[in-house]
Each structure stands twice: as C-alpha cells, then as structure tokens.
Structure 1
Amino acid sequence: MKSNQTPAQIHRIRPTLGAHQKLKTLVLHILSPYINAFTFHSSFRLRSATSPKKPLTPAAAAATTTVTMKYNPRVSSSRRKNRKAHFSAPSSLRRILMSAPLSTDLRQKYNVRSMPIRKDDEVQVVRGTYKGREGKVVQVYRRKWVIHIERITREKVNGSTVNVGINPSKVVITKLRLDKDRKSLLDRKAKGRAVGDKEKGTKFTAEDIMQNVD
C-alpha cells in the first residue's frame, strides 16, 4: 500500500537519478494508493464473475420472474408527442376530448357517465372562479378548447363585454339538448356500459349455480 517515505527522502536515497526519472518516481509514489485500490477491486470483480453461482430455490426463482408488459408501437408515452397530438387534434377528435360529465340525476337516468358537450346544453360550473354558476352553453370554442356559457362574461378595458372561456372538465351537464343523434349515442353508450358492468360482476347467477348443484 502507501509508502512511508516522503518524496524528499526518495530524492535523497536516489541522488544520481535524472530529472525525468525523478518525476516519474514522484508520480508513482503519489498515485500508488489509488493504483493498489483499483487493482484490488478489479481482482475482486473478476473473482465474483468467475465464481460458480448457487442454484435458486423455487421460491426465489418465482420471485425473480420477469413480467413482459404489453407494448403497442403506435402508442407513445413521450411528453412532447402527446402534447403535439393534443394541440394539433382535428375538430372531430376535439369534440370527443371536450366531453363533460353528467349530473348525478342524468347519470342514473341514462346510465352514462359523460357526453361530448354541445351548444344549448345546460351546465353548472363545479370548479374554478365561477363555481356554482349555471347557464346554457352558447358556444363550443374548439379552437381554444373552451366553452362559453350565458351570463358568464367580463368587461374589457374599452367597455365591451366578452364571454369567459370555461374548460368543459370544470362543468357538469344538468340538462341535455336531445335530438335523434344524441339519443342514439346515449343508447349505444348505455349498452356498452351495461355489458362492461356485467363482465366485471359475478360470472354466474344464482340460477346457474343451482343448476350445477342438481
């Protein structure tokens, strides 16, 4: 390991060495602790790598089993790719993304959780500065991802009045404007939700169990 001699003592022991050799000796003396430590760790890693490994027990093997996740090459988790897809989405996709949840009464009535918001729906703001305000949707501004609600306005510096944009996720729909297409969409969503609830529930009914017992 590290030598007990100082550089000055080394110089006195070897007075006949040249300047180049003295410099080399001094550098080796300073770096010798690091060289010895590096050699020790390298030999330890080599012994660890070449030493035979003990076989794993069944429990340990089960614990170290790797699980392969599903991977879809068309789906990215990149932040910038998702932001680009969001802000460059066409109007047809923005319609779906600008959905709002239904109120508790409507959810129980139609068995539907949310719907794409549209003009003439009646909504209530549940979060934000205008929490508690109710009104009819006068415009769905898809370019800015907001909706305009009647009586939720502000006054500009020049005295004119403009609507305040509200994010659809900050409101609940209290009354739907129903037409043929909207009713068809409600029916489709309700059927899909019913099938999903049935699959998540019990796989067998009481009648099926009694038949198996017989």
Structure 2
Amino acid sequence: MKYNRQVTSSRRKNRKRHFSAPSHIRRVLMSAPLSKELRQKFNVKSMPIRKDDEVQVVRGHYKGQQVGKVVQVYRKKFVVYIERIQREKANGASAYVGIHPSKCVIVKLKMNKDRKAILDRRAKGRLAALGKDKGKYTEETATAMETS
C-alpha cells in the first residue's frame, strides 16, 4: 500500500531521478552514518559527508581500521576521495579511489556553526519523534516562567 500517490514506485523513474539529481539533492543522497560514539553524542544517525570529515571505510575492498580524512567530495560521480586510499596507475602515478559515502562511517566531524545548527535541529526532531522532550516543562523553565 502506497502512502503517497504523488510518489512513484517505478524503478526506472527512481533511477532517472537519482542519477539526474541536482547538486543540492546529491549532497543529501551522499550521507554517511555516524560512528556509535558520535551517534550517542549528537543523537543523530547520519549526516551529509563533507571535505575534512574523518571517515573509516567499513565495506568493500578498502575496508579496514585506518581512519582517513576526506580529500574531495565528488558529487557528480557520487563518490568521496579519502586521504590514504590510493592506487597506482599504469604510468606510475597515484590516484585516489572513489568510495561511496554509504560504505563509510564518519568518525570525526568538521564542525562549524551551520553544521552545529543542523545537528541540533535534527536531534531535536529525533527526540520529538521518540516522544521525549515533548511538551514537557522542566523545573528550571517553570520557575523562569513564574519569575518573568
């Protein structure tokens, strides 16, 4: 049973929309899950990946324990290039290997005020969905309201 009749279930149309998506939508499509520690800290499950995040590859040929910094996010190809993951080309030069963000885990976030605001907003929505912090007053807010 479909929830929304406006959204198509067609594989062909979904693939077309995915691969012809504009850059601002590809940013969201290129999200990576956060590590267990970050998930506990921020109460958010995944974030769009960006340059200078530290990630660990958890699936595929390059999976391992080493942590690398994201060198480039190549939205056109849906891949990220990671610091230590390179291979040698036929002419001897080294080239980065593209890894899909869903196969990585973000270990350390590059933080700025906009990203902090996104984390706060998403954590607040997650708490509301779980039923916590929903329309409840704490002692501090109740006393603050009485005094003002």
What is the TM-score of this pair, normalised by structure 2? 0.85
Among candidates 32, 47, 50, match of residue 115 of structure 1? 47
Q: How much has 1:72 moved relative to structure 2?
A: 2.9
Please name the residue that 2:137 is paired with: none
Matched position secondary structure for 2:72: strand
For residue 120 of structure 1, give the secondary structure of its aligned residue in structure 2: coil
1:94 aligns with 2:9: no
- Residue 168 of structure 1 is matched in structure 2 by 101
* Corresponding position of 1:134: 67
SS at match of 1:189: helix
Corresponding residue for residue 57 of structure 2: 125
Alignment partners' CA distance in 2, 1:82 and 1:171: 24
Structure 1 residues 131, 141: CA separation in 2 closer, same or farther (over 3 Å shift)?
Answer: same
TM superposition shift of 1:99: 0.3
Deviations for 1:111-152, whole angstroms, at most 9, x for unmatched residues? Answer: 000000000000001111111132000000000000000010
* Residue equivalent to 1:59: none
Paired position in structure 2 for 1:184: 117
| Structure 1 residues 103 and 162, CA gap change in structure 2 (3 angstroms) | same
Which has the higher Rg, Structure 1 or Structure 2? 1
In the alignment, the residues of structure 2 paired with residue 128 and residue 70 of structure 1 have an alpha-carbon distance, to the nearest angstrom, of 34
Matched, 1:150 2:86: no
Q: Which runs of 5+ in 1 are unaligned?
A: 1-68, 200-214
Q: Please name the residue that 2:127 is paired with.
A: 194
- Please provide the CA RMSD for this pair: 1.2
CA distance in 1, matches of 2:24, 2:75: 10
1:103 corresponds to: 35
Classify the secondary structure of the residue corresponding to 1:80: helix
**For residue 159 of structure 1, what is the amino acid of its counterpart?**
G
Give 1:74 shift.
2.0
Question: Offset at 1:160?
Answer: 1.2
- 1:74–1:109 distance in 2 versus 1, CA, 3 Å: same
Task: Work out which structure has the larger RCO, using CA pairs closer than 8 Å and 6 or more positions apart in sequence.
Answer: 2
Q: Note if 1:80 corresponds to 2:5.
A: no
Paired with 1:196 and 1:159, the residues of 2 have a C-alpha distance of 53
Distance in 2 between the 1:89 and 1:145 partners?
11
Between structures 1 and 2, the one with greater helix share: 1
TM-superposed CA distance for 1:71, in Å, is 5.2
Counterpart residue type for residue 72 of structure 2: Q
Distance 2:93 2:50 in 1: 26
Which structure 2 segments of 5+ residues have no match? Answer: 133-148
Report the structure, 1 or 2, having the larger strand content: 2
